Structure 1
Amino acid sequence: MTSTIELMTAWVRACAVSDLEPGWGEVALIGARQVALIRVAEQEVYAVDHHDPHTSAPVMARGIVGSRGDRPTIASPLHKQVYDLGTGECFTDPALSLRTYRTRVVGGMLEVELDG
């Protein structure tokens, strides 16, 4: 007999999109998690773990927002590792990755999907 574990997910309202300034990060406490919210365009917002994967310091919302080609990125403000905001892949150290969360905008409000 095979059992399956069903992951429960929930969309949690974080803030109004208009509260976020394009090109900058803000940190939000969503549930028990510190999540860095990064708005890169009018309706394009990314959510990643606020803790730096290399040092575990809670600093990613203060990272440097940029891009590699058409892929939006954030660089750690401590050691400058560069991460893809969509996938969490680290461009500068393949051993590292940044946890990402799905986002959506509903009625002007940013929602972040958290797993149970």
Structure 2
Amino acid sequence: MTTAPSQHWTAVCSLTDILPGTGVCALVADRHIAIFRLAGDELYAIDNIDPRSGASVLSRGLVGNLGDQLVVASPLYKNHFDLRTGACLETPEHSVRSYPVRLSGDSVMVASG
């Protein structure tokens, strides 16, 4: 029987540090992670590194939706990344990792591990 690795939760900022409809970048377990806050204080977290350029910029992308998918558009190549899964809609081979994120009091927490 195998056991799933335990998640380590890291506080990255307070909820008020992220304006609704925008993202911020945080370093969690040596990874650049983009955390997005949408209306109703919904939180999402994906890798911040744009896989095409290698630049840490996804947190600066435009947040919106394509149909039913909540996405962020990379500010460099305009690829769209699903905020729930990290999937790149245009080129799936450029997909990024998504992370569990939650609110604990006013602290935004991201899981790694």
C-alpha distance in 2 between matches for 1:41 and 1:109: 17
Q: Secondary structure at the match of 2:59?
A: helix
Aligned to 1:57: 55
Tell me whether 1:11 sits opposite 2:16 in the alignment: no
What fraction of aligned residue pairs are identical, expressed as a percent? Answer: 39
Post-superposition CA distance 1:61-93 (Å, at most 9, x none): 111111122321001111101010001111111
The unaligned stretches of length 5 or more in structure 2 are none
TM-score (norm 2): 0.90
The unaligned stretches of length 5 or more in structure 1 are none
- Report the Cα offset of residue 6 of structure 1: 4.5
| Maintained 8 Å contact 1:22/1:40 | yes
TM-score (norm 1): 0.87
Aligned to 1:70: 68
C-alpha distance in 2 between matches for 1:103 and 1:94: 23
- Calculate the aligned-residue CA RMSD, in Å: 1.6
Larger radius of gyration: 1
Which of 81, 106, 109 aligns to 2:107? It is: 109
| Maintained 8 Å contact 2:25/2:33 | yes
Tell me whether 1:28 sits opposite 2:26 in the alignment: yes
| Maintained 8 Å contact 1:59/1:77 | yes
Tell me whether 1:84 sits opposite 2:82 in the alignment: yes
